[in-house]
Amino acid sequence: MYEVTVEDVFSSAHRLRNYRGKCENVHGHNWKVQVTVAGEKLDKGGLLLDFHVAKEKLKDVLSVLDHKDLNRISFFKKLNPTSENICLHIYGKMKTALKRYPVTVRRVTVWESDRQCASYCEER
């Protein structure tokens, strides 16, 4: 099994609902996002997925979140905009964005600071 990982960043604000503490107030993060895709076969050029393609798809997904109040995005009106749910959101969007490529999205990791992150992956 081969894996390819790309990273990008975005900035946004959010507030956590049903939370007691500083994070219940509107605040912002400079998020770092890592997306790992996997597959068993390489193309004729020896690539699983061109890094350029993976980075462009991730950039498109993150552009909807960048410099936004996450609480106002429809996905997060139902789900709290936690790091965990941001992973879930990005995972679903990347799965759709890469559906025509012979890869599966293995994992999405979202760093809200240099010291803490959350990840989402689907069990097989």
The tens digit of pLDDT for each residue in 77-88 reads 999 999 999 999
Rounded mean pLDDT, 111-121:
96
- pLDDT at residue 124, rounded to an integer: 62
Q: What percent of the chain has pLDDT over 70?
A: 99
- Supply the mean pLDDT for the chain: 96
pLDDT tops 80 at residue 12: yes
Length reported for the chain? 124
pTM value is 0.95
Which residue bears the tokens 């020896």?
46
Distance CA 29, CA 38 (A): 28
Q: What is the dihedral angle through the alpha carbons of 36, 42, 44, 100, rounded to the nearest 10 degrees?
A: -60
Q: Give the Å distances, CA to CA, from 103 to 2, 36, 40, 106.
A: 9, 10, 8, 9
- Output the six-digit token pair for 7: 């990273």
Strand partners, 107: 36
Which band of pLDDT confidence, cut at 50, 70 and 90, is reported for residue 23? confident
Rounded mean pLDDT, 61-88:
97
Domains of the chain: 2-120 (3.30.479.10)
